[in-house]
Amino acid sequence: MEFRALIAVVALAFTATAFAQSKDPVDSSIASLPALNAQQTQTSISGLSSGAFMAAQFHIAYSDDLVGAGVVAGGPWNCAGSNPLIAPLATAVSTCMNPCKYTWFCPDSLFPDSTFLSKLAQDKAEEGVIDDVANILDDKVYIFSGQSDETVVTQVVDSTEDFYLKLGVDASQIRYNTSVNAGHAFITNDPADTVCDETQPPFINNCDLEQATRLLDHIYGDLQPPVGRLTGELLRFNQREFFESDMTSMDDAAYVYIPKACKEESCRVHVALHGCEQGIGTLGTGYVTGTGYNEVADDNQIIVLYPQIRKSEPLPFNPKGCWDFWGYSSGDTPPYKYYQKDAPQMIAIKKMIDRLTTANTPSSQSTANH
């Protein structure tokens, strides 16, 4: 989960310009993501750590399609672009994490500039590379920072709240929790999980708080409490059909949780993004089944999509399996577009959402099987 170690290695290993790579043939033995006729106007997204940065990016880039976002231990949209004079990678592992870790002074100027980023978002919307930022004015936003998190410190996460406020989101629509003595982790109430204030794999901590429930309830409201026993289906599906190149660092497979009712009814969709070192290649289904999303989704007609990133090197250089919030999927060279709608990982997530919201017809199933 520690991003900072990336920079020293990247300086040595990632000096070449990225080149296009064709992907391997699709594995026909893995199921296709089904078309489920989900509600097109009730999609939301959340993530932890690098997944939180990606969730914030996707929320702003595709704001026309979303009703809310959850940012757990992450910074604002395009955090790595906070200083246009510094390469995004350098900003990502400093400004966007713990910029005062190795300094004896800590001015506000070391942290993400939410004023600059909010103005930049408006400019990028006018350029058409992200959706109109006015779309987020009626959205709900859940933000969390643990008091013992030294990986992405609270002052960085503060800038996430400030970013949304500067774009005009009313404070009543933002739930920002800084009251828990948590490490850098997703929070549960499972005694089997890591002690609350620790920061260690698998980065899922017991703080006697059902974070997935709090997050989804804030976005959607009036949810039923989590069920004791799941009745839906956890489906492993072929993720490769949603991206064009191995330069994305996306895994071959991903998961979706489909509540039983959603086989027949039109349900909502929530996208849950893991953090670094939490993909299925590292944790198996630990994040997919251990964060509590499925339990709250099961009786509330919410389909939960779990896109997956894998570790990759040398190109793209992503040895910890992080979501791209600094530009590795486009070669770590300008022009950077990791925060735009046409960024490779953004496109893949959007395609998966579109599949789920497509009507379940013979023609859609034929498309899903190719």
Whether 149 is a known active-site residue: answer: yes
Whether 184 is a known active-site residue: answer: yes
pLDDT confidence tier of residue 247, bands split at 50, 70 and 90: confident
From CA 361, how far away is CA 352, in angstroms rounded? 17
pLDDT digit string, tens, across residues 251-260? 999 999 999 9
pLDDT of 367 reads 52
pLDDT of 6 reads 46
Average pLDDT over residues 328-355: 93
Q: Which of 149, 158, 193, 217 is catalytic?
A: 149
* Of 334, 325, 352, 317, the residue nearest 13 (C-alpha): 317
Look-up: residue for tokens 């999509």?
305
Beta strand pairing call for 43-48 and 66-72? parallel
Neighbours of 334 (CB within 10 A): 10
Structure tokens, 309: 């990133």
Strand partners, 250: 309
The model's pTM is: 0.91
**Are the beta carbons of 186 and 211 closer than 8 angstroms?**
yes
pLDDT digit string, tens, across residues 12-67? 333 333 333 344 445 557 999 999 999 999 999 999 999 999 999 999 999 999 99
Q: Which of 49, 249, 312, 330 is catalytic?
A: 49
Beta strand pairing call for 204-206 and 66-72? unpaired
Is residue 76 predicted with pLDDT exceeding 50? yes
Q: Which amino acid is at 134?
A: A
pLDDT of 58 reads 99
Q: Which of 59, 131, 139, 184 is catalytic?
A: 184
Average pLDDT over residues 145-168: 98
Helix, strand, coil tally for the chain in percent (to 5): 35, 15, 50
